[in-house]
Amino acid sequence: MAVLAAKPAPDFTAVAVMADGSINENFNLKDYIGDDYGLVFFYPLDFTFVCPSEILAFHNRMDTFKKLGVKVVAISVDSQFSHIAWRETPTDKGGLGPVDFPMVADITKQIARDYDVLIEADGVALRGTFLIGKDGLVWHQTVNNLPLGRNVDEFVRLAEALQFHEEHGEVCPAGWNKGDEGMKDTAEGVASYLAKHADDL
C-alpha cells in the first residue's frame, strides 16, 4: 500500500456525473478543486450494500464540507451510466437520489491504481479516503477493507484540524475537536499541553 500522505495527490481526468446530473466527459481533479480543499473517496461498486450508506453520509454533510471549502469527489470503477441509474433510484429502493458531488467513472481502473486502492483480483477499489490540502498534498489517507464503512464525521474533523493548523500554526493533539486547544510544536508546548490535558487523553 502506497503512502500518499505528504505527497502530491495524483491528478486525473475522467468522465464524471456531476451534482446536477450532467455528464462531464473531461472532469479534472485539480481543475475541480482549484484553490479549495479536496476529499476524494473510493468505493467498490454501485448498487451494493455498505456503499450507499457511506455516499449518503457524505451527501448529508455537504453543507458542512462546503462551509469548510472542501470539494468532495466519489470514485468507483462503474460507468457514468451506472452512476446515473443509481442516482435516479430512490433510497427506499437501494438507490442514492441526486447526491451533491461528482461521481467519477474509473472504467480503466487507473485512478484506483494511482491511489493504490485497487484490488486487482476483484477489479474494485477498497474504501480509500484522501484529504487534499490547498497545497495539492495529501494530508490524510485511510483505507478500509470492503466490509467496514467509514465514519464521515471523522473527515469533517480532519478538515477542521488542517484548517486550525494553517490558521494558528499549532499542531492538533490526539482527540482534537473544533474549539479545543492546540499544541505548540516545541518541548515547552508539549509540556504545557500535557500538564493540563494528559489525564483526558
Q: What is the pLDDT of residue 31?
A: 98
Q: What is the pLDDT of residue 129?
A: 98
Domain count, the chain: 1
* Cβ-contact 27, 38 below 8 angstroms: no
**Residue 112 falls within a domain, yes or no?**
yes
**Residue 165 falls within a domain, yes or no?**
no
- pTM, two decimals, is 0.96
**Residue 192 falls within a domain, yes or no?**
no
Q: What is the pLDDT of residues 164-200, one digit of tens each?
A: 999 999 999 999 999 999 999 999 989 999 999 999 8
User: What's the pLDDT band for 72 if we cut at 50, 70, 90?
Assistant: very high
**Residue 162 falls within a domain, yes or no?**
no
Provide the 3-class DSSP secondary structure of residue 113: helix
Q: What is the pLDDT of residue 110?
A: 98
C-alpha–C-alpha distance, residues 44 and 145, integer Å: 10
Q: What is the pLDDT of residues 20-70, one digit of tens each?
A: 999 999 999 999 999 999 999 999 999 999 999 999 999 999 999 999 999
Q: What is the pLDDT of residue 143?
A: 97
**Residue 70 falls within a domain, yes or no?**
yes
Q: Which domain holds residue 39?
A: 13-149
Q: What is the pLDDT of residue 141?
A: 98
Active site (catalytic) residues: 51
**Residue 186 falls within a domain, yes or no?**
no
Q: How many CA atoms within 13 Å lie on the side-chain side of 150?
A: 25
Number of residues that make up the chain: 201
* Cβ-contact 159, 131 below 8 angstroms: yes
Q: What is the CATH number of the domain that holds 124?
A: 3.40.30.10
If you average pLDDT over every residue of the chain, what do you get?
96
Q: What is the pLDDT of residue 123?
A: 96
**Residue 154 falls within a domain, yes or no?**
no
**Residue 67 falls within a domain, yes or no?**
yes
Provide the 3-class DSSP secondary structure of residue 197: helix
pLDDT at 1 over 90: no
pLDDT at 13 over 90: yes
